[in-house]
Amino acid sequence: MQSFLSKKKGSYHRNSKVGKTILIAVIALLVIYFGRGLIGATISTILRPLYIAENTLSDSTYFSDRETLREQIISLEGELRERGVESEELIRLRNENEELRGVLGRSEEEDRIAVSVIAQPPYMPYDALLIDAGSRDGIKEGAVVYHYGDRAVGLVSKVFERSALVTLFSTPDVETTVYILGPDIFTTAYGVGDGTVRVSVPQDIALSEEDIVILPSLETGVLGTITTVDRVITEPEQHGYIVGEVSLQSLRVLAVSREVTTSVSFEEALLNIEAEERRLLTVPVPEEVIIEVATTTVDGI
C-alpha cells in the first residue's frame, strides 16, 4: 500500500512538471503569435532612422547637393556684402557730388574758389582746416570760407603757396558779431569748439530753436540755425547753440571768396541784414507757376 502511494505521488509530480512545461510552451506560443506585430513595429520604429541614415550616407548625390547648396549660400552672402559696400560707396559719392555741385554753383555766382579739405580735426588743432589751394590759386588771407552756398564757416588765417589754413568761427575764443532773425537782435557769438558756436542773451529775449543767425558784416553769410536753447530760470542769461549741419570730420569741399572781408559801418550792416532776410524769404518760382495780382492805380489805370 505504501509502495502504491509512493508510485502514485511520483507519477503525480511528473505529470505536474509535464503540465507546467506544456502550459509555459502554450503561453509562449500565444505571446509570440499575438505579440509579433507589436514587437516588429517597435523594432522597425527604432531601426528606421538608422536605416534612413545609412541610405543617406551611402548616397553621393545627397553630399554633392549639400555641397553645391553651401557654395551657393557662400557666394550669395559675398555678393550681398559687396553690394552693401557698393551701395555705401555710391551714397558717399552721391553726397560728395551734390556737395560739389552746391559749392561750384555758388562759386560761379559769387566769384568763389572751390577747394578740397585735406586735413581736419582730430589731425588739426582746435577747429581748423587745411585746404588744398593757396596763393597760386588766388587764396587770400582774410577771405571768407563757405560750405553749401551761404553757410559761412570761417576765415582764411594763413596762406601758403599750395595750401591754406582756415580758422573756423567755432574755434574756442573766436568772437563774431551776429544778428539773430526772430528776436531781431545783434549779439556776439562765441566759438566753443567741435563745430559749435554759442550765443548768450538775457532771459527776457524770445530765443527759440530754428532761429537763423547771420553775419551782418557779410553781404551773404549765414552762420547757422540755433539747434538747442539752454535756459535756466535762476540764471540771468540763456544760451543758444549753433551746430554745423555737417561734422568737421565730414567736411570735404568748401568755397573761398576771392576777396577779403572788410569792416562795414552799422548802416551797411543793416543793409546786409535786409538783403539776407529777403534772400532767405524769397524762393525762385517759375513764372508759369506763381500767381500774382497786377497792381493798378486808384483810377484803375
Residue-level pLDDT at 247: 84
Please report which helix (H) or strand (E) contains residue 256, including its range.
strand 253-260
Whether residue 74 is contained in a domain is answered as: no
Q: What is the mean pLDDT of the chain?
A: 75
- Cell 563774431, located at residue: 176
To the nearest 10°, the Cα dihedral for 30, 32, 38, 39?
A: 160
Whether residue 249 is contained in a domain is answered as: yes
Closest CA to 235 of 185, 208, 201: 201
Whether residue 38 is contained in a domain is answered as: no
Distance CA 54, CA 213 (A): 79
Q: Say if residues 181 and 216 touch (Cβ distance below 8 Å).
A: no
Closest CA to 155 of 144, 163, 171: 144
Whether residue 98 is contained in a domain is answered as: no
Q: Could you list the residue range(s) of the whole structural domain that residue 158 is in?
A: 113-281
Cα 26–chain centre separation:
84
Whether residue 80 is contained in a domain is answered as: no
With cut-offs at 50, 70 and 90, classify the pLDDT of residue 181: very high
Residue-level pLDDT at 184: 93
Residue 34 DSSP code: H
Closest CA to 113 of 121, 103, 123, 122: 103
Greater pLDDT, 205 or 58: 205
Residue-level pLDDT at 281: 75
What CATH number did the domain enclosing 255 receive?
2.40.10.340
Whether residue 155 is contained in a domain is answered as: yes
Distance CA 96, CA 114 (A): 13
Distance CA 101, CA 167 (A): 24
Output the nine-digit C-alpha cell for 179.
544778428
Instruction: Give percent of the chain with pLDDT exceeding 90.
Output: 36
Whether residue 138 is contained in a domain is answered as: yes
The pLDDT tens digits for 61-85 are: 444 455 565 666 666 666 666 666 5
Residue-level pLDDT at 149: 72
The pLDDT tens digits for 102-161 are: 555 544 445 788 898 999 888 887 789 999 999 999 999 999 999 877 889 999 999 999
The pLDDT tens digits for 222-257 are: 999 999 999 988 899 999 999 988 888 888 889 999
Greater pLDDT, 248 or 285: 248
Residue-level pLDDT at 60: 47
User: How many distinct structural domains can be found in the chain?
Assistant: 1
Whether residue 48 is contained in a domain is answered as: no
Give φ, ψ of 112 to 5 degrees: -115, 165
Distance CA 37, CA 43 (A): 10
Output the nine-digit C-alpha cell for 136.
597760386
51 pLDDT higher than 50: no
Residue type, 265: S
